[in-house]
Chain A
Amino acid sequence: MLHIANLTASVDGHEILRGLDLDLGPGEVHVIMGPNGAGKSTLSAVLAGRDGYEVSGTVTFNDADLLALTPEERAAAGLFLAFQYPTEIPGVGNMYFLRTAVNAVREARGEPPVDARTFLDEARDRMAELKMDPELLSRAVNAGFSGGEKKRNEILQMAMLQPDLAILDETDSGLDIDALSAVADGIERLRAPTRSLLIITHYPRLLEHVRPDVVHVLRDGRIVRSGGLELAHELEAAGYGPAQPTGIGRP
């Protein structure tokens, strides 16, 4: 499903990802943990196609060369990024946005647009599952939403777009217990044999709800350890340890 080999990414000559390798199979849930500045958000940004990075290496997604695609082509190919800080878009209605997104992806795949009625019913069902205020559908995208509402709105978009691979960038941060469990339920509900998840998090809390297959530790721009859920617990108890001396791990 997703194959990353020797991925590097720099901003203004400053190297953030330094030869990252990762393989994610269909239906698998992988977690990436790591200290601040390890490159977690850069990884999600590069995978989603954000401008401003010099990138090398290969990323293959469903047999496509992901790095050659525009952000919208990546979405049409089945990639979804849940933002750590979802963008507020005043003046653009949430329902209009969601429907435009769903139909844009359908159009790119050669599928007919979904009609307004079917779309609305579907959106309302998904919102009820996420315990979202239906009023949020008629408001502007994320504008004036609370932190929890923004994160639920990300999961709502994911539920409507039904991606093959969802990258969740610290979706659990800043959530209270109720919001966390609603978001976690929403993620769990999307688990499917053909759908993979890449969860970036600081906290093992979310992993009580969404059981991962593999836990990776990202540090200094590359994966330095991989293991099962027990690795997350070990990190929680012992921390990531002192920073590696400069030079180690570099060519």
Chain B
Amino acid sequence: MIDTALDALDTPDRRNRHEPSWRREARLAAADWLAAHPMPTSRDESWRHTPAEDLVARLGTAEHPRTSFRLAAAQIDIMAGDLGGPRLVFVNGAFAPGPSYRRDAPGVDARALSEIGRTAASGPVLEPDRIDGFVALNALAADDGAVITVDARAAVAAPIHLVHVAAPDLDTCLATHPSTVVRIQPGARATVVESYVGFTGAALTNAATVIDVHDGAALSYHRVQTEAPAASHVGHVRIRAGHDATVTCTTVTLGATISRVAIDTSLVGDRSQLDIGGLYVPRGDERHDQVVTTEHVGSRTRSTQRFNGVVDDRARGSFTGRIIVQPGTTGTEADQTNHSLLLTATAESDTRPWLEILADDVRCTHGATVGRLDDEAVFYLRTRGIPEVRARQMLIEGFTSEILDTVADTALRDRIRSRLRAKHQPAEAGR
């Protein structure tokens, strides 16, 4: 499968492409890394709840997209929304200027790598001890990518929106490697939203995002995956926070048969804060896994991980929450919760707190619950005239609102809410 990826790279337009040196170096480093390491298996600790072998097998048969696919802006408005700010659209990993919105946002530079060419400033380097085969493959095989820079002290109100569209062929599974780099310069404030959407059909999305939030900056980052039911999705988000930086991160997984999202964060600077919330709602035979790492490197840092799963039918929802407190730090606060709502007797959930506390001055809490819809609450709503199906839906929405309420952008929040509702409606109506 790596051969397939390498083959895909070995085309004239790729060899001659005008990409910045950091990107070329990352490609070479990724190739070296892949030559020396195997792809993940479900025997790996952090892949325990994902059928990694199935994903790797699918990668082996998947093809690299070679043709472009034209989409209208209105179509993307429907699939991913128009959040009012600049929007960059990538279709099967390639930048699509047509449906993108070039809106003027002072202090924001949002461009595709293919537009920037060799002039791009320095970019992130591969971190060999923090990646896996999928991240390396993304670095190796990404066709294009988004590069977002928010200037120092800029306060950007409208969300910067990146949309990654999986547009599968009729009879072959396409593997795409969306890549995003976000830099929030010192003292800046911004909201970045990444939407992963797709058309019906088999597709494998292997996405990687690297975010640096520099000293005193504040970022809200929301990642919303609503790909087709037949899709597979692997996502990796790396976030580093500087001194006094504040980060709010939300990940919502609604689509794909197999989905694994890893959020790997480091509170590098003193007094940095990081709140990560997540929502996953697998149904049918879906497997949705979230692996979250928060590493406290600086002192007086504070973090939360709050993940809620709603699991229906025979699906399985998993959460691994890793908290690492490095030696020499003081005044660390870390809180973690994972609540699972199982809608059927065959639904499964896994919850795994994974704490590595290597310092003394730490206050760390974690809690997990697994439950079913409260019959008493269903009855209460029904006695007020609310039909049973609607009552159950309201309670599911109530359960998800703890996480959704952290999405400050109301348009985005309403959008996610209606997608959640749509996902649960058909099964409920059948009961």
Q: Do the beta carbons of A100 and B376 come within 8 Å of each other?
A: no
Pair A49/B380 contact, Cβ less than 8 Å? no
Question: Are A87's CB and B382's CB within 8 A?
Answer: no
A43 to B381, CA, bound (A): 19
**CB < 8 Å neighbour of A108 from B385, B391, B394, B397:** B385
- CB contact under 8 A between A97 and B394, given known A87-B376, A91-B401: yes
Contact with B along A51-94 (1 / 0, CB 8 A): 10000000000000000001110111000110100110111100
The answer to whether B385 touches A101, judged by C-beta atoms less than 8 angstroms apart, is: yes
A residues near B424, Cβ cutoff 8 Å: none
The smallest beta-carbon distance between B270 and chain A, in angstroms, is: 35
Q: How far is the CB of A140 from chain B (nearest CB, A)?
A: 7
Is residue A215 contacting chain B, with contact meaning CB distance below 8 A?
A: no
Known contacts A100-B394, A140-B398; is-contact A89 B384 (Cβ 8 Å): no
Q: How far is the CA of A166 from the CA of B166 in the complex (A)?
A: 55
Residue B154 at the chain A interface, CB threshold 8 Å: no
Q: Does B314 contact A (CB under 8 A)?
A: no
Distance in Å from the Cβ of A51 to the closest Cβ of chain B? 7
B380 touches A83 (CB 8 A): yes
Name the B residues within 8 Å of A71 (CB-CB). 379, 382-383
Tell whether, in the assembled complex, residue B386 and residue A92 are in contact, meaning their CB atoms are under 8 Å apart: no
Asked if B402 is at the interface (CB within 8 A of a chain A CB), the reply is yes
Render B374-405 as a binary contact track against A, CB cut-off 8 A, 1 for contact.
11110111111111101100110111111000
Residue among A70, A86, A108, A161 making CB contact with B380, cutoff 8 Å: A86
Compute how far the CA of A101 lies from the CA of B401 in the bound complex, rounded to whole angstroms.
Answer: 19
Determine the chain A residues whose CB is within 8 A of the CB of B394 once the complex forms.
Answer: 92, 97, 100
* Complex interface residues of chain A between 80 and 139 (CB less than 8 A to chain B): 80-81, 83, 86-87, 89-92, 97, 100-102, 104-105, 108
A211 at the interface (CB under 8 A from B): no
Contacts of B397 in A (CB 8 A): 91-92
**Interface membership of A50, Cβ < 8 A:** yes
Taking CB atoms and an 8 Å cut-off, the chain B residues in 141-180 that contact chain A are none
Asked whether A97 and B399 contact (CB < 8 A) given A92-B394, A104-B386, A104-B387, the answer is no
How far, in angstroms, from A57 to B385 measured CA to CA in the complex? 24
A87-B377, A89-B377, A97-B381 known; A72 vs B395 contact (CB < 8 Å): no
Complex: how many Å from CA A65 to CA B278?
47
In the complex, chain B residues whose CB is within 8 Å of the CB of A91? 397-402
B375 surroundings in chain A (CB, below 8 A): 51
Q: How many residues of B contact A (CB 8 A)?
A: 24
Interface readout for A5-22 with B: 1 if CB under 8 Å, 0 if not?
000000000000000000
Distance in angstroms between the alpha carbons of A165 and B75 in the assembled complex = 52
A165 to B375, CA, bound (A): 24
Task: With A90-B398, A91-B399, A91-B401 as known contacts, state yes or no: A104 contacts B385, CB within 8 Å.
Answer: yes
Cβ–Cβ < 8 Å partners of A51 in chain B:
375, 379
- Whether A223 is near chain B, meaning CB under 8 Å from some CB there, is no
For B391, give the chain A residue with the smallest CB separation.
Answer: A72
Is there a chain B Cβ closer than 8 Å to A157's Cβ?
A: yes
- Residues facing A in B286-334 (CB within 8 A) are none
Inside 8 A of B400's CB, which chain A residues have their CB? 91
**B330-384 at interface with A (beta carbon < 8 Å):** 374-377, 379-384
Q: Which of chain A's residues have a CB closer than 8 A to the CB of B382?
A: 49, 70-72, 75
Contact at B398–A72, with CB atoms within 8 Å? Answer: no
Q: Which residues of B contact A89 (CB under 8 A)?
A: 374, 377, 380-381, 395, 398
The answer to whether A75 touches B380 (Cβ under 8 A) is no
For B388, give its contact among A72, A76, A101, A157 (CB under 8 Å): A72
The distance from the CB of A47 to the nearest CB of chain B, in whole angstroms, is 10
Q: Which residues of A contact B376 (CB under 8 A)?
A: 87
Contacting pair B383 A74 (CB below 8 A): yes
Known A-B contacts A48-B383, A51-B379, A87-B380; the reply to A100 vs B390 at CB < 8 A is: yes
Residues from chain B with a CB closer than 8 A to the CB of A48 are: 383
Q: Report if A49-B383 is in contact (Cβ < 8 Å); known contacts: A92-B395, A100-B390, A100-B394.
A: yes
Q: A80, A81, A91, A105 — which one has the most chain B CB atoms within 10 A of its CB?
A: A91
Q: How far is the CA of A152 from the CA of B308 in the complex (A)?
A: 32
Nearest A-chain residue to B400, judged by Cβ: A91
Q: Which residues of A contact B381 (CB under 8 A)?
A: 89, 97, 101
- Residues in B whose Cβ lies below 8 Å from that of A101: 381, 384-386
List 5 tightest A-B contacts by C-beta distance, closest first.
A91-B398, A75-B385, A105-B385, A101-B384, A71-B382
* A-B contacts, 19 listed (Cβ < 8 Å): A49-B383, A51-B379, A72-B385, A72-B386, A83-B383, A87-B374, A87-B376, A87-B379, A91-B397, A91-B398, A91-B399, A91-B401, A97-B394, A100-B386, A100-B394, A101-B381, A104-B384, A105-B385, A140-B398
Which residues of B are in contact with A by a Cβ distance under 8 Å? 374-377, 379-388, 390-391, 394-395, 397-402
Known A-B contacts: A72-B387, A75-B383. Give 19 more (CB < 8 A).
A51-B379, A70-B382, A72-B383, A72-B391, A75-B385, A87-B379, A89-B377, A89-B381, A91-B397, A91-B400, A91-B402, A92-B395, A92-B397, A92-B398, A92-B401, A97-B394, A100-B394, A102-B385, A104-B385
